[in-house]
């Protein structure tokens, strides 16, 4: 181990190779580089301390560079003992980043390194799995008053955050970056789909064609793995506990069955649920000789590895990241020690996929810092928040530009009643908006009767093209709405807002409706200034 004042890595001499890998990653992360260019110019994070517990990969290093370009001070450690790329950790240390991470961390070092990041006294946290947030709440509650907010990268972390929120234990707001469409519908679907199978193949060199592959969980990650396994010629079986997802899997052409039954016929088993003890010892006892098990959920709890170790009559390391367990006379193979196989045995998601995910992280940090005065406080509304839809759309545009893809836009003229996802727009001060040079126009729309039941007599929307100013609190918002919409009764608007769940002082509302003409970016936010 090599250690300095602000780092501890496996071998600092690996930095040269790490810098080469960062160069490769940057060449494939054009969307994030565009964010970095703007950050370097505007310095929106100047002086902000950002503490990170993420997989220390070449892609994460580009996120670190982006945050630092925006003026942030950064401290980082890993979020999984087997996911750190040692050459990348060394490269970050060479660049002066506070970094504590190495591949194969002991449990003691893992939590010691989290402690080093916490000692940095971060004002914003970026987490993958919620360990950093959890440690702060459990052991360092005195720091919470200094923290603006946090960002969470993965499904498992979001599950833990919602559990904390339910118990009134979450004391600062956290952006669910995983809920971005440009995250869970790209990273989880395309990234996990490819990198999971990559990890299994590197660990075992197995042929997927003709194998029965059991995918446990049919969320975005499970969907991606199922699609890629099918593409490699596997016979995919899906197990689920959610009726709708099980129905989706069946309609997508996959066999759906109970795990008790799938355990008897599967050749490869992959867990992607964010839950624990998905594959229990009872399932492993039913498996065929040479069945292979792998996990692509965040924690090593989805496969009951402890029970397998205890019950096995013999174990041995067959090759890096592939262990053999003899159970009831049958050989079972476990990839990556039951940890995230795509990072334990491979390199994680491709850089192109992580570019959109880390755009979400960078812009989430900026969003928290710019809107800190309006963020929810403990006991004052949902503490797990999502980014405005416009930010997600902007990430998609950046990635399309990086890919050289051009796409159509609606014309300004009405083209009939077409369904679009439309946010609601209300501008508190029209004169102020005009003074700022914000173009706007009022469109009259005719709502279908089925929709009119939900939005009552709302017939006019003030549309501000690509710029929105909303600074009124709810009482003022009601007053302004009556002035803007002469036919609208105050009680009707109140019922409308109530029925559409936008009464929270920090709640962005998207609603699908029939809207002729251009789709505008619209904001209902009773206390936030948001201009893009």
If we measure between CA atoms, which residue out of 456, 449, 468, 441 comes closest to residue 522? Answer: 468
Q: Which long-range contacts (CB under 8 A, 24 or more apart) does 131-136 make?
A: 131/53, 131/79, 132/51, 132/52, 132/53, 132/79, 133/157, 133/161, 133/164, 133/170, 133/174, 134/160, 134/164, 135/111
Q: What are residue 275's phi and psi, to 5 degrees?
A: -110, -175
Q: Which long-range contacts (CB under 8 A, 24 or more apart) does 378-383 make?
A: 378/168, 378/170, 378/171, 378/172, 379/168, 380/505, 381/504, 381/505, 381/506, 381/507, 382/165, 382/504, 382/507, 383/161, 383/165, 383/170, 383/171, 383/172, 383/173, 383/174
| pLDDT value of residue 410 | 72
**Exposed/middle/buried for 168, CB within 10 Å: 0-12, 13-18, 19+?**
exposed
| pLDDT value of residue 412 | 57
Report the distance separating Cα 60 and Cα 70, nearest Å.
15
State how far the alpha carbon of 66 is from the alpha carbons of 63, 158, 465, in Å.
5, 24, 28
The DSSP call for residue 340 is B
pLDDT in tens, the chain (532 residues): 999 999 999 999 999 999 999 999 999 999 999 999 999 999 999 999 999 999 999 999 999 999 999 999 999 999 999 999 999 999 999 999 999 999 999 999 999 999 999 999 999 999 999 999 999 999 999 999 999 999 999 988 999 999 999 999 999 999 999 999 999 889 999 999 999 999 999 999 999 999 999 999 999 999 999 999 999 999 999 999 999 999 999 999 999 999 999 999 999 999 999 899 999 999 999 999 999 999 999 889 999 999 999 999 999 999 999 999 999 999 999 999 999 999 999 999 999 999 999 999 999 999 999 999 889 887 767 799 999 888 999 999 999 999 999 988 876 554 444 443 333 333 334 344 334 333 332 222 333 333 333 332 232 233 322 223 333 333 444 444 444 443 333 344 444 444 433 333 323 333 322 222 222 223 333 222 222 2
Could you tell me if 56 and 101 are in contact, meaning their C-beta atoms sit under 8 angstroms apart? yes
Sketch out the chain's domains with CATH numbers.
2-185+348-397 (3.40.50.1480), 189-344 (3.40.50.720), 410-514 (no CATH)
Q: What is the pTM of this model?
A: 0.77
Instruction: Report CA torsion sign: 72, 77, 80, 83.
Output: positive
Could you tell me if 292 and 267 are in contact, meaning their C-beta atoms sit under 8 angstroms apart? yes
| pLDDT value of residue 347 | 95
If we measure between CA atoms, which residue out of 264, 275, 293, 270 comes closest to residue 224? Answer: 270
Instruction: Report CA torsion sign: 347, 404, 438, 460.
Output: negative
Count the Cβ atoms, other than its own, within 10 Å of residue 177. 31
Could you tell me if 522 and 422 are in contact, meaning their C-beta atoms sit under 8 angstroms apart? yes
Residue 385, beta-bridge partner list: 175
Residue 127, beta-bridge partner list: 53, 152
| pLDDT value of residue 221 | 95
Residue whose pair of structure tokens reads 């003992």 in the numeric block: 81
Report the distance separating Cα 50 and Cα 442, nearest Å.
42
Print burial letters for 475-494: b (CB count within 10 Å at least 16), e (below 16): eebbebbeebbeebeeebbe
DSSP-assigned states of every residue in 372-393: GGGS--TTSS-SEE---HHHHH
Q: What are residue 215's phi and psi, to 5 degrees?
A: -105, 115
| pLDDT value of residue 409 | 80
| pLDDT value of residue 184 | 86
Question: What SS3 class is residue 226?
Answer: helix
Print burial letters for 209-233: b (CB count within 10 Å at least 16), e (below 16): eebbbbbbbbbbbbbbbbbbbbeee
Half-sphere exposure of 233 (CA within 13 A, CB side): 6
> Cα-atom radius of gyration of the chain, to the nearest Å?
25
Report the distance separating Cα 467 and Cα 437, nearest Å.
10
**Exposed/middle/buried for 474, CB within 10 Å: 0-12, 13-18, 19+?**
middle
Could you tell me if 212 and 268 are in contact, meaning their C-beta atoms sit under 8 angstroms apart? yes
**Exposed/middle/buried for 279, CB within 10 Å: 0-12, 13-18, 19+?**
buried
């Amino acid at each position: 181990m090599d250690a300095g004042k602000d780092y501890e890595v496996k071998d600092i001499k690996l930095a040269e190779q790490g810098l080469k890998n960062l160069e490769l990653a940057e060449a494939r992360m054009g969307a994030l580089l565009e964010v970095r260019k703007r950050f370097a110019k505007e310095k929106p994070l100047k002086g902000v301390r950002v503490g990170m517990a993420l997989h220390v990969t070449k892609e994460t290093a580009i996120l670190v560079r982006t945050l630092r370009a925006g003026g942030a001070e950064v401290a980082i450690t890993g979020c999984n003992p087997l996911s750190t790329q040692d050459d990348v950790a060394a490269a970050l240390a060479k660049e002066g980043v506070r970094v504590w991470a190495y591949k194969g961390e002991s449990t003691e070092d893992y939590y010691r390194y989290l402690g080093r990041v916490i000692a940095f006294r971060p004002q914003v946290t970026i987490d993958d799995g919620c360990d950093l947030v959890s440690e702060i709440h459990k052991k360092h509650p005195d720091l919470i008053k200094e923290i603006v907010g946090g960002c969470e990268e993965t499904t498992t972390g979001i599950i833990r955050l919602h559990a904390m929120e339910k118990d009134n234990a979450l004391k600062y707001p956290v952006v669910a970056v995983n809920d971005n469409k440009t995250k869970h519908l790209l990273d989880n679907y395309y990234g996990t789909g490819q990198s999971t199978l990559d990890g299994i193949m590197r660990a075992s060199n197995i042929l997927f064609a003709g194998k029965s592959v059991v995918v446990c969980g049919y969320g975005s990650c499970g969907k991606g793995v199922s699609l890629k396994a099918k593409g490699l010629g596997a016979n995919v079986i899906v197990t689920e506990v959610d009726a709708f997802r099980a129905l989706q899997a069946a309609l997508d052409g996959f066999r759906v069955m109970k795990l008790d039954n799938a355990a008897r016929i599967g050749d490869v088993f992959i867990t992607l649920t964010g839950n624990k003890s998905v594959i229990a010892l009872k399932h492993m006892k039913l498996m065929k000789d040479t069945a292979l098990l792998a996990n692509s959920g965040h924690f090593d709890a989805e496969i009951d590895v402890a029970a397998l170790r205890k019950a096995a009559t013999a174990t041995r390391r067959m090759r890096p990241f592939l262990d053999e367990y003899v159970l009831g006379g049958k050989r079972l193979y476990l990839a990556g020690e039951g940890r995230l196989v795509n990072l334990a045995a491979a390199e994680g998601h491709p850089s192109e996929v992580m570019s959109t995910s880390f755009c979400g992280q960078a812009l989430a940090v900026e969003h928290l810092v710019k809107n800190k005065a309006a963020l929810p406080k403990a006991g004052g509304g949902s503490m797990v928040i999502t980014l405005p839809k416009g930010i997600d759309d902007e990430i998609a545009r950046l990635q399309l530009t990086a890919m050289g893809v051009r796409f159509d836009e609606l014309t300004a003229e009405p083209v009939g009643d077409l369904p679009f996802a439309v946010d609601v727009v209300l501008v508190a001060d029209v004169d102020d908006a005009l003074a700022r040079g914000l173009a706007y126009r009022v469109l009259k729309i005719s709502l279908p009767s089925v929709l009119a039941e939900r939005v009552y007599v709302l017939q006019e929307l003030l549309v501000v093209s690509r710029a929105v100013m909303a600074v009124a609190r709810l009482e003022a918002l009601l007053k302004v709405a009556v002035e803007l919409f002469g036919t609208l009764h105050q009680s009707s608007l109140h019922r409308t807002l109530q029925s559409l769940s936008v009464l929270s002082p920090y709640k962005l509302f998207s609603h699908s409706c029939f809207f002729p003409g251009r789709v505008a970016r619209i904001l209902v936010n009773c206390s936030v200034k948001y201009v893009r």
